[in-house]
Amino acid sequence: MTKIAPSILSADFANLKEEIEDVVRGGADYIHVDVMDGHYVPNITIGPLVVKALRPVTTLPLDVHLMIENPEHYISAFADAGADILTVHQETCPHLHRTVQLIKAAGVKAGVVINPATPAEGLKPILKEVDLVLLMTVNPGFGGQSFIPEVLEKIKTIATWRQEMGLSFEIEVDGGVNAQTARDCVDAGADVLVAGSAVFSAEDREQAISEIRKAE
Ligand code: DX5
Ligand code: ZN
């Protein structure tokens, strides 16, 4: 079954606990946490302190997407804060294997992510090492942007490589996912759909989540 990972970037930050409890009740599988540093992406969000504060709110995996420069400097802080999955941008990691090894040594699942214009080929040498591959379907930085359909081919490519190589990492998609775009992602091979505005802008989060999941 397709997993849904609501992104709290579009939640009410004054009520994060209640917002998370609401999507947990609504059937979320992961809680997606967008960490932005104002350098790698043109926006600043939250850090390890907030992850630590949110940790007791849910037993669901905290799926932490690091949109920051030098992510290797912050792996242990996010792992100690209670992240379950730490995903780093290939574009920010000149020593990608080293960074992935650092994440796994911290006892956390390791993900790698690429932007829409980054070719999939650069991920091939790391696929054996990762638990998750995240394909951005918007340029990271903000919620509420439009889905870039050209990325669908890359989802298919990664899914094909996974099968050919006999691997079992999850394929996650992030950006502009809603009940309409979700179907193409799932058809292309996505297992986990991140959805920010499509979930949190809805009055009824349970309904929003199940509409996205219906894309299966
Ligand atoms: C974008 C973030 C996304 C964002 C998705 O930089 O990585 O996780 O919250 O938001 P929507 O679903 O509104 O595109
Ligand atoms: Zn994200």
Domain coordinates in residue numbering, the chain = 3-213
33 CA from centroid of ligand 1 (Å):
10
pLDDT at 216 over 70: no
Convert the pLDDT of each residue in 109-140 to its tens digit.
Answer: 999 999 999 999 999 999 999 999 999 999 99
Q: Transcribe 24-37 into DSSP letters.
A: HHTT-S-EEEEEEB
Phi-psi region at 72: left, alpha or beta (left = phi > 0; alpha = psi -120 to 50)? alpha
If you average pLDDT over residues 182-208, what whole number do you get? 98
Counting from 1 in the atom list of ligand 1, the atom nearest the Cα of 147 is 14
pLDDT at 205 over 80: yes
Residues with CB under 5 A from ligand 2 (ion): 34, 65, 174
**What does DSSP assign to residue 110?**
E
Q: Is the pLDDT of residue 154 over 90?
A: yes
Residue 105 has pLDDT above 90, yes or no: yes
Tokens 């999939």, located at residue: 120
Give the Å distances, CA to CA, from 63 to 122, 161, 194: 23, 23, 10
User: What does pLDDT average to over the chain?
Assistant: 98
Dist CA 100 CA 112 (whole Å): 8
Per-residue pLDDT at 50 exceeds 70:
yes
**What's the CA dihedral at 204, 209, 213, 214 to 10 degrees?**
0
Report whether 141 belongs to an annotated binding site.
yes
| Whether 174 is catalytic | yes
Q: Is 26 annotated as a binding residue?
A: no
Give the contacts of 54 (CB within 8 A, at least 6 positions apart).
Answer: 16, 17, 20, 31, 33, 62, 82
pLDDT at residue 199, as a whole number = 98
Tell me, rounded to whole angstroms, the distance of Cα 94 from its chain centroid. 20
Is 197 among the annotated ligand-binding positions?
Answer: yes
Percentage of the chain beyond pLDDT 70 is 100
DSSP label of 23? H
Q: Are 16 and 27 in contact (CB under 8 A)?
A: no
In percent, the amount of the chain with pLDDT more than 90 equals 99
From 7, 65, 199, 212, give the residue whose CB has the most ligand 1 atoms within 8 Å, as the site to mutate. 7
Residue type, 2: T
Architecture of the domain defined by 3-213: Alpha-Beta Barrel (3.20)
Residue 215 pLDDT grade (very low, low, confident, very high; cuts 50, 70, 90):
confident
Q: What is the pLDDT of residues 3-29, one digit of tens each?
A: 999 999 999 999 999 999 999 999 999
Q: 22, 174, 184, 191: which one is catalytic?
A: 174
